[in-house]
Amino acid sequence: MGNICRSPIAEGIVRERLRVEGLTGQIATDSAGTHSYHLGKAPDRRAQALMAEQGIDISDLRARQVDGFDFEFFDVVLAMDEGNYEWLRAEAPSAQRAKIRPMLSYAESAQQVDWVPDPYFGGDSGFRRVYELIDNAANGLMDHLRASADD
């Protein structure tokens, strides 16, 4: 929603995987929120700390809101939860709606949840759960991105 918790974690994970696989220059990433709550702010300190534990620096990211350019430019637009998914589908031009997918639709193993929970009002354990869910889904997302890069 505000682009300071889940989306920066996802962008950090995906950016790192792209770096490791040498795909950084071939695939563009960016995270954005559906609301303007935290425009220009760095990721939540808990998200930054968790990612730093994983050796991933997300301190350079700044919150921004999704705009029409995103639907045109990106081949995949990922939603963390149902409310954001519905917002994105409502805002996207009809020709671009097929690009919008739940992040966890790329998960490789049973998650027992359909959406990534918002950890903002919780503690560190909520951020760890978000990391685990997104990390798992990033495996399937990377398979998809590799296939797209080869096309």
Task: List the catalytic residues.
Answer: 6, 118
- Are 11 and 31 in contact by the 8 Å Cβ rule? The answer is yes
Contacts of 25 (CB under 8 A, 6+ apart): none
> How would you label 128-145 residue by residue, b for 16+ Cβ within 10 Å and e otherwise?
eebbebbebbbebbbeeb
H or E element: which one contains 149? helix 124-150
